Structure 1
Amino acid sequence: MQDLSRIVTDIAAEMREAPDRGTVADYIEPLARVDPSRFGIAVIAPDGSEHVAGDADMPFSIQSVSKVFALTLALGAVGDQLWKRVGREPSGSAFNSIVQLETEHGIPRNPFLNAGAIVVSDILLGRGETAETIGEMLRFVRGLAGDEAIFIDEAVARAEQDTGFRNMALANYMRAFGNLANPAERALRVYVHHCALAMSCRQLARAGRFLMTGGVIPETGHSIVSPQRARRINALMLTCGHYDGSGEFAYRVGLPGKSGVGGGILAIAPGTASIAVWSPGLNERGNSQLGMLALERLVARTGWSVFEPRGG
């Protein structure tokens, strides 16, 4: 039987000594101030056991990891109608690329690109109020994690609004194609507040449990999505969750995962574990340098890759 606590503790110790820690995102000023020596990891099993090490209880800006939760909410609101406005294919492009929108008539390639997540935010906004839509997301994530301490970092949200010129260009471009129902400013306000969610590794792993157990929160039995929808969200995470680094992540780690420029990664071993890692230094594609390395080592020691033979 695997000693998960020992594996997690050993990986955290190895990450503390890692020489190449990547580069902290500096285009969002509050993120630029985060200590690059930080590393946290949390692994939660279906029986509720939690295995954590390092800075697993320190909140950080989850940034694009929030796109998983926004997509889940939007699918609950409009179902498969969402796919008329957002694709489901890998992009091969950077997270904030505008290139493909021209040739694809304002339809983002997938919901995990910035453009796709802005459309998802527009769907969530509907005809409602911006503050109510932001509050709905916060309540949803708190409910998934069972933790009212999760919050939105307003300083991060303001910084993203003040410097998000490319995101504004993406939003206006899609509105020109008729793929935003609301003014760009309103959709972007929802989007940046989702990205400004602050969570710890433990909270993030708890929030992701429903994707580990076929759409159900294991400790309560409450159904969040159908098993089919959970499977499909996991599929999108595997193929699109790391932008133009998604193939590399699948090759090295072999799990559904979603990264954020705050240095967090949520990864799912279906039926086995919900995993969150955090290290703020990023690689050249905007994904956590040590987060990916830690997950690669975790999978090597546990055999959790979705590509492992059953029983192997």
Structure 2
Amino acid sequence: MRAEVSETIAGTDFDALLARIADDVQPLVSQGKVASYIPRLAQVPADRFGMAVATLDGRRFSIGDAGTAFSIQSISKVFSLSMALDALGGDLWQRVGREPSGSPYNSLVQLEDERGIPRNPFINAGALVVADVVLSKRRDGLDALLAFIRERAGNADIQVDTDVAESEALAGFRNAALTNFIRSFGNIEQPVEAVLDFYFRQCAIAMSCEDLALAFLHQADGGRCRRTGVQVISPVRARRINSLMLTCGTYDAAGDFAFHVGLPAKSGVGGGIAAVVPGALALAVWSPGLDERGNSLAGTAALARFTELTGWSIF
């Protein structure tokens, strides 16, 4: 990140900035479609909008529904990826790729030709392999994941929304098909039921924008958690995870997202998006209405407006 970004952070009126962004994107709130294939998510009011910023110099800013917990869904894949890399290191990339898929996040089409090796860890197929890796090394995988997230967010009350998890399991036929298909190629080692249970529950973790901004802050600081002083992951690993968020973090809209927003980010069909400005801050936005590619409509617009107004993209 350019040096001038960190130099201007201290003088930025973030309260005014967030207020302007919220006002600018308000016409888009409720225009998208709330995820309906998971019945519990279909019940979330579409008129919600929240945004939060956490800076490396310790300041916190938020607006709207930023304190409301929601189902983070695929945003959780960033945290489980960190755990899988701890377990296998670079050997993980023999089991999952690092390329954008160009297909919907829940697609099966590439797995046949590519012999059960998912394109990247952020599509559903790749996240299921990551879940398998975590469970192979940690029988307490979900508890370990929750502990990791709680520590990063500084919030011991973060929990799995069991209603959402049950709803996911009842509607999870495609994920079950993905897991069994990958298993047929030998790239799932743990029992399919255990992998699916872990995956459904990790996606059902409930966090607020304020939680997420704090939980992603180490990704903006070379893997270091300034609140605790812990080097959570190495600087190289933080950079590589950021690169995957940029190229693969917003499903098959990653190119458009990089073009309009220009920040590493991970979205979820619960309507959340977490993003980082390396060397400066982390931010999160939530608006449940999704575009046709499964990303928050108002949330994407809010992040685009953020980089337009500040100039803080990585490009």
TM-score normalized with structure 1 length: 0.96
2:198 aligned to which of 187, 190, 201: 190
Q: What is the alpha-carbon distance in structure 1 between the residues aligned to residue 122 and residue 210 of structure 2?
A: 22
- What is the aligned partner in structure 1 of residue 4 from structure 2? none
Which amino acid is the alignment partner of residue 60 of structure 2? E
Distance 2:211 2:264 in 1: 18
Question: What does residue 310 of structure 1 align with?
Answer: none
Amino acid at match of 2:192: A
Aligned twin of 1:241: 249
1:220 Cα offset (Å): 2.2
Show the counterpart of 1:206: 214
Among 299, 302, 307, the residue aligned to 1:294: 302
Map of 1:140 onto structure 2: 148
Structure 2 distance, partners of 1:203, 1:249, is: 23
Alignment of 1:32 onto 2:42: yes
8 Å contact from structure 2 (residues 29, 47) kept in 1: no
Q: Is the Cα contact below 8 Å between 2:28 and 2:297 reproduced in 1?
A: no
- Map of 1:78 onto structure 2: 88
CA contact (8 A) 1:2 1:302 kept: no
Could you list the per-position Cα deviations for residues 11-51 of structure 1 after superposition, in whole angstroms to 9, with x for gaps in the alignment?
12333343662000011111101111100000111011011
Aligned partner of 1:115 among 125, 150, 157: 125
Provide the residue aligned with 1:263 in structure 2: 271
Aligned-pair distance for 1:61? 0.2
Aligned residue for 2:231, secondary structure, equals coil
Deviation at 1:4, TM superposition (A): 1.5
Give yes or no for contact 1:9–1:52 (8 Å, CA) kept in 2.
Answer: no
Shift of 1:9: 1.7
RMSD: 1.1
Identify which range, 79-88 or 5-14, moves more after superposition: 5-14
1:127 deviation in Å?
6.0
Query: Contact between 1:260 and 1:287, CA under 8 Å: does it hold in 2?
Result: yes
User: 1:132-174 CA deviation, whole Å, 9 max, x = no partner?
Assistant: 2111111110011111121100111111111100000100000
Residue pair 2:249, 2:265 contacting (<8 A) in 1 also: yes
2:105 matches 1:95: yes
Task: Give yes or no for contact 1:41–1:275 (8 Å, CA) kept in 2.
Answer: yes
* Contact preservation (8 Å) 2:30, 2:47: no
1:165 is matched with 173
Deviations 1:212-264 (A, max 9, x none): 00000112221010101000000000000011100010010000000000000
Alignment counterpart, residue 224 of structure 1, candidates 232, 246, 250: 232
Distance 1:97 1:49 in 2: 40
**Distance between the aligned counterparts of 1:239 and 1:19, measured in 2?**
26
**Residues 56-104 of structure 1: CA deviation (Å, up to 9, x unaligned):** 0000000000000000111111111111100000100100000000000
Does the CA contact (< 8 Å) of 1:244 and 1:285 recur in 2?
A: yes
Amino acid in the other structure paired with 2:50: G
Q: Distance in 2 between matches of 1:278 and 1:48?
A: 22
Tell me the distance in 1 between the aligned counterparts of 2:295 and 2:186: 31
Q: 1:6 aligns with which of 13, 16, 27?
A: 16
Bigger drift between 273-282 and 10-19 goes to 10-19
Could you say what secondary structure the match of 1:29 adopts?
coil
Please name the residue that 2:71 is paired with.
61
Would you say how many aligned residue pairs link Structure 1 and Structure 2? 305
Query: What is the CA–CA distance in structure 2 between the aligned matches of 1:192 and 1:162, rounded to whole Å?
Result: 10
Q: Is the 8 A contact 2:30 2:46 kept in 1?
A: no
Letter in 2 for 1:179: N
1:43 aligned partner: 53
Structure 2 counterpart of 1:283? 291
* 119-128 or 76-85: bigger deviation: 119-128
* 8 A contact 1:16–1:37 mirrored in 2: no
* Distance in 2 of aligned mates of 1:19 and 1:172: 38
Residue 169 of structure 1 aligns to a residue whose secondary structure is: helix
Comparing 52-61 and 14-23, the one that deviates more: 14-23
What is the aligned counterpart of 2:312 among 297, 300, 304?
A: 304
Which stretches in structure 1 are left out of the alignment for 5+ residues? 308-312
